Structure 1
Amino acid sequence: MGDGVYWLPLGGAGEIGMNVYLYGLGPEEDPEWLMVDCGITFGNGTVPGVDVILPEIAWIEERRHRLVGLVLTHAHEDHLGAVHHLWKRLQCPVYATPFAASVLKTKLSEAGLKNKVPLTEIPLSGAFEVGPFKLQYVTMTHSIPEPNLLMIDTPHGRIAHSGDFKFDPNPVIGEPADEKTLKSFGDMGVTALVADSTNVLTEGDGESEADLLKDLTRIIGEAEGQVAVTCFATNVARLRTICAAAEATGRDVCLVGRSLHKMSGIARSHGLLDGVPGFIGEKEAGYIPEDKLLYICTGCQGEPRGALSRISNDAHRDVKLKRGALVIFSSRIIPGNELSVQRIQNALVRHGMKVLTWRDAHVHVSGHPARGELKKLYDLLRPDILVPMHGESIHLREQAQWALDCGVPESLVAENGNMVRLAPNGPAIVDEVPVGRWGLDGQRAIAFDGDVIKGRNRVIFNGSALVTVVLDAKGHLAAEPQVSVQGLIEAGERDLLEEACAAAAGAVNEVPRSCLKNDDEVGDAVKVAVRRVFRNAIGKKPTMQVHLVRI
């Protein structure tokens, strides 16, 4: 097999979030690999106990001796949020621009990895080399500081990895996209563009963040009482916009949610909130008149532990919203989070609050490129090949067709696990590798198809029963068996416990004498008998545990 340049998504292609992309250079059977981004996605309540989802990286972990580095395009959670969880398995150098590096350093410190990860800060528009890859950051615009397109120069052609971007001539933070540099690369020739597909279903051009300020100011100014706005904690541009609207309407700002406090602190340290007044503490906010205060809350995606979720259930220690309060959702819903967000919105409305979303008023603009902005990037770079990323299947296929309609010669759709040869000899899927998801369960990562999740699901759907059986030296019952249950019976069905205890005793008494000293035989007999009681009575087969005690 000859040398080539390859693209392999482990996450982010066929889904929105959890972006992990590999670029390979060398012989197909054993190229050197560069990882671009390593992000998370958030749970949507379908997997019990899991709020954060990590990519399965076993394939590249097995080849980490060929992994030359990890390059981050920007600081959003779906692009760098998995680094501190997975770096010990990767053991490679990390590269980022200053803001993303600051965000990552905070996460690494909290994970006990301070000064243990080789992290190199690259200046904006900086050129650098990682292994055989010659790289350059190109400044773009997004909803977070320092978003970058990554230009990858290889012997087989130049590859542009767009990262998350939009074209905004008047950004609230940072500089406009560096169109001059993009055009210069287009003049030199771009073999392939791997591009953000999130907003491809939107016609025309996206809106500027600056255009949002006027309408948010009007909406907040018309509110007579409490106002709360929820958005992504990492959307620093939106944070600044909301703060400007609050100041214009005579309201102080109170941040609610740990991630907002962390991100605002990092943003201030980089001068991105210069001119924004200091924030009010949650306890202090209770002493400020309601029409002089604005809350900015985490939880716009319905996260169970987000501040807004707790507020909607009247479970927040310090922040209480009253009937008539205005709650603004300054974000779109990530696909898969619809039910979680609707649950919170319904709870707020049920308590007499008014909810505003992007469907009701101009309270959000996207940080991703609409069709017109994608065409602009195609025109600047003039790639030979378009490969869509960062989107669900419908987004990938739509952008692949849109690129052809705009005059890009070739496009190819690949999803997680598809290894694509970008050059030479045109684009083609040449291999498939195993991919998957792991859930962050406390301080460990667990497999979605592993015993922990399977066990939890069984308990959720069928309940559980624990039987304690005490036997004497001869294997006879030394006391009546005891049965306790979780998630199985109502208060008025306690008689089933007595029936289950009797069934357990009967099962022990029916075990052949030759088997009474065999714990497995006795335990299995008890499980069958007790499970039968609940199956016959309520139609459920609970997860069973038998504790056998011999005295």
Structure 2
Amino acid sequence: MTGDLAFIPLGGTGEIGLNLNVYRCDGELLAVDCGLGFGGPEHPEVDVMVPDPAWLVARRDRLSALVITHAHEDHVGAVAHLWPQLRCPIHASPFVSAVLRRKLGEAGILNQVEIVTHPPGGRWRVGGYDLEFLRVAHSVPEAQALAIRTKYGTVLHTGDWKLDPQPLIGPPTDEAAFARLGEEGVLAMVCDSTNALVEGHSGSEAEVRRNLAALIKGLKGRIAVTCFATNLARVESIAKAARAAGREVALFGRSLRNAEAAARECGYLSDTPPFLSEEEAEDVPDSKLLVICTGSQGEARSAMAKIAADTHPHISLGEGDTVIFSSRMIPGNERAILRVQDELSRAGVEVMTADDHMVHVSGHPARDELKRLYQLVKPKYAVPVHGEWRHMNEHANLAESLGAIAYVIEDGDVLRLAPGKPDIVEAVPVGRLAVDADRLLPLDGDVLAARKKMLFNGIVVASLAVDGSGRVLGQPQIAAPGLFDGAGEESAQIAADLARAVGDLPGPTKREDGPLREAARSAVRRALGRRLRKRPTVEVHLLRV
């Protein structure tokens, strides 16, 4: 459809993470953000997911650009996975560009991607779009809201933001720029809903710095602090607190080292001395060491997860040591985080979190901040995004109390903003893809369905040798890792059941590999059902000699 202005979320609306948004103006498409999400307890067979871009890929000849608002993984983490399908220019601030170059370099596609870097607060044109960055405070440097000016009116896409008078790295949110935009006239504001249920104010990063300094000063033994890698203000605060307490600071984890390199490239952390490597940290006395490490979300291969499992090659923690989780739990990661914290506690480590110490503030606006932004921008329409349904509904109620007309939509809805009154005019297909090494697999596809079945019901591999007439030679072998001991009684009984079942088959069935293999599979399934009352995946290896 042409002749309209529409907003089309393909991820991140009605959920946390996986942000992929599309604007359509007279048929020309503009994508904003391209992020990942975690599998969580709903999808234990998956570590990382990305939004399915199929609808957008089918129209990439009309896709003018991808704009990234900031460097958090739920907004930039899917770029390296999905860009080979999108193949459009990427527009970003200097810090996002530096982070992206490392990600794309690791993926081996950096030299293929056109990255256009704009200064914070910059303004430029892409096709029929007049675009402007507006500086906002967030828990990462150079977060930008995006003003999208079109012939139908202006849309403000806030990205992630908050009102922090002392963000420590970078300036506060540019309220004057938002006020100017509001005076100019804003048709619609597409806005962060994460903390729409939270009364008051989200708090200041400066308060966290003061509290971390006081907390770390009084601790003995080794200290490890985990936080989001790109929260440079937090990393700087931890480093300052450590040095004030007479400790040296080491970085553990690839994403932290990449974020540090991008930060120093862009002029951040200039007053922070170089960090120790993981190897150098081994030689520092316990009372003189503080480690900043990855793993605040319980990620299985992160530095903190390895430390908790006592499998890290360069450090171990125990009685008298302290771990500080300077972060929040992203919904879906609770179980993994609590498991890591429990393992640390079992080893005698004292675990401190934001539940009992002032070691974290959110990077998202609470209700007082949302009210302030609506007062500045005065949008005609409000479109809550970046939250689950309860967050977006509460955001919509707040927006309407402040004079806007709110539209609560979900991924795949095509919300026509103009001309005329906004309306959901159609729906487009959306979905999620699992990141599986270098592959992207449909979340509802056969491969992951089989993996999920194996996760809960197990897998059994039966191997048997037969002669040309189908007579079983020797004893079949049964392997069932996770179900029973391969050399145990259950294995022997099922092998005997299989040999008897094959021996009872009609001659024609035994002489054809396909029918014989399927009959053997059915026999193993029946035997397992009788003995284990389970329905595992069964594979049969047939050798005819």
Given the two structures, how large is their TM-score scaled by the length of structure 2? 0.97
Residue among 480, 483, 493 paired with 1:488: 483
- In structure 2, what residue type is equivalent to 1:75? A
1:309-458 to structure 2, matched below 5 A, reads 309-408=305-404, 410-458=405-453
- Verify: 1:238 aligned to 2:234, yes or no: yes
For 1:390 and 1:109, the matched residues in 2 are separated by 29
For 1:77 and 1:21, the matched residues in 2 are separated by 15
Q: Is the 8 A contact 2:476 2:498 kept in 1?
A: yes
Q: Which residue of 2 aligns with 1:23?
A: 23
1:149-548 to structure 2, matched below 5 A, reads 149-408=145-404, 410-490=405-485, 494-548=488-542
- In structure 2, what residue type is equivalent to 1:478? L
Per-residue CA deviation, residues 318-353 of structure 1 (Å, 9 max, x unaligned), is 111121211111111111111111111111111111
For 1:74 and 1:514, the matched residues in 2 are separated by 66
| Segment drifting more, 242-251 vs 258-267 | 242-251
Residue among 130, 133, 141 paired with 2:137: 141
| Segment drifting more, 514-523 vs 335-344 | 514-523
For 1:474 and 1:520, the matched residues in 2 are separated by 14
Q: How many angstroms does 1:43 deviate by?
A: 2.8
Residue among 21, 29, 33 paired with 1:33: 29
Would you say how many aligned residue pairs link Structure 1 and Structure 2? 545
For 1:210 and 1:482, the matched residues in 2 are separated by 64
- In structure 1, what residue type is equivalent to 2:502? V
Secondary structure of the residue aligned to 1:478 is: strand
Secondary structure of the residue aligned to 1:198 is: coil
Per-residue CA deviation, residues 63-87 of structure 1 (Å, 9 max, x unaligned), is 1111111111111111111111111
Q: Is the 8 A contact 2:38 2:332 kept in 1?
A: no
Secondary structure of the residue aligned to 2:328 is: coil
- In structure 1, what residue type is equivalent to 2:431? G
| Segment drifting more, 178-187 vs 145-154 | 178-187
Secondary structure of the residue aligned to 1:234 is: coil
Q: Is the 8 A contact 1:136 1:150 kept in 2?
A: yes
Secondary structure of the residue aligned to 2:119 is: coil
- In structure 2, what residue type is equivalent to 1:110? E
Q: Is the 8 A contact 1:166 1:369 kept in 2?
A: yes
Q: How many angstroms does 1:206 deviate by?
A: 2.1
- In structure 2, what residue type is equivalent to 1:132? G
- In structure 2, what residue type is equivalent to 1:421? R
- In structure 1, what residue type is equivalent to 2:125? E
Per-residue CA deviation, residues 98-152 of structure 1 (Å, 9 max, x unaligned), is 1101111111111111220111111222111112111111111111111101000
* CA 88–2 in structure 1, closer or farther in 2 if over 3 Å, else same: closer
Q: Is the 8 A contact 2:157 2:191 kept in 1?
A: yes
- In structure 2, what residue type is equivalent to 1:351? A
Q: How many angstroms does 1:473 deviate by?
A: 2.4
Q: How many angstroms does 1:287 deviate by?
A: 2.0
For 2:238 and 2:422, the matched residues in 1 are separated by 44
For 1:490 and 1:476, the matched residues in 2 are separated by 27
For 1:323 and 1:205, the matched residues in 2 are separated by 37
Per-residue CA deviation, residues 11-63 of structure 1 (Å, 9 max, x unaligned), is 1111111110000111xxxx221000001112325535532111011111111
For 2:2 and 2:242, the matched residues in 1 are separated by 60
For 1:499 and 1:224, the matched residues in 2 are separated by 58
Secondary structure of the residue aligned to 1:530 is: helix
Q: Is the 8 A contact 1:48 1:453 kept in 2?
A: no
Q: How many angstroms does 1:481 deviate by?
A: 2.3
* CA 416–101 in structure 1, closer or farther in 2 if over 3 Å, else same: same
Per-residue CA deviation, residues 234-268 of structure 1 (Å, 9 max, x unaligned), is 11121111111112222111111111011011111
* CA 447–126 in structure 1, closer or farther in 2 if over 3 Å, else same: same
Q: How many angstroms does 1:169 deviate by?
A: 1.9
Per-residue CA deviation, residues 402-429 of structure 1 (Å, 9 max, x unaligned), is 1112232x01101111111112222221
Given the two structures, how large is their TM-score scaled by the length of structure 1? 0.96
How big is the alpha-carbon RMSD for the aligned residues of Structure 1 and Structure 2?
Answer: 1.5
Secondary structure of the residue aligned to 2:103 is: helix
| Segment drifting more, 500-509 vs 363-372 | 500-509
Per-residue CA deviation, residues 432-486 of structure 1 (Å, 9 max, x unaligned), is 1111111111111111111221112222222222122222223323333222222
For 2:185 and 2:453, the matched residues in 1 are separated by 56
Q: Which residue of 1 aligns with 2:84?
A: 88
Q: Is the 8 A contact 2:41 2:332 kept in 1?
A: no
Q: Is the 8 A contact 2:8 2:415 kept in 1?
A: yes
* CA 490–481 in structure 1, closer or farther in 2 if over 3 Å, else same: closer
> Which ranges in structure 1 are unaligned for 5 or more consecutive residues?
none
Q: Is the 8 A contact 1:172 1:240 kept in 2?
A: no
For 1:41 and 1:485, the matched residues in 2 are separated by 32
Q: Is the 8 A contact 1:462 1:540 kept in 2?
A: yes
| Segment drifting more, 381-390 vs 277-286 | 277-286
- Verify: 1:126 aligned to 2:115, yes or no: no
Q: How many angstroms does 1:181 deviate by?
A: 1.6
Percent identity between the aligned chains?
45
Secondary structure of the residue aligned to 2:362 is: coil
For 2:491 and 2:330, the matched residues in 1 are separated by 45
Secondary structure of the residue aligned to 2:233 is: helix
> Which ranges in structure 2 are unaligned for 5 or more consecutive residues?
none
Secondary structure of the residue aligned to 2:111 is: coil
For 1:224 and 1:550, the matched residues in 2 are separated by 68
Q: How many angstroms does 1:508 deviate by?
A: 1.8
| Segment drifting more, 96-105 vs 514-523 | 514-523
For 2:202 and 2:540, the matched residues in 1 are separated by 61
For 1:45 and 1:452, the matched residues in 2 are separated by 18
Secondary structure of the residue aligned to 1:207 is: coil
Secondary structure of the residue aligned to 1:143 is: coil
Q: Is the 8 A contact 2:484 2:491 kept in 1?
A: no
Secondary structure of the residue aligned to 1:216 is: helix
For 2:468 and 2:477, the matched residues in 1 are separated by 19
Q: Is the 8 A contact 2:98 2:265 kept in 1?
A: no
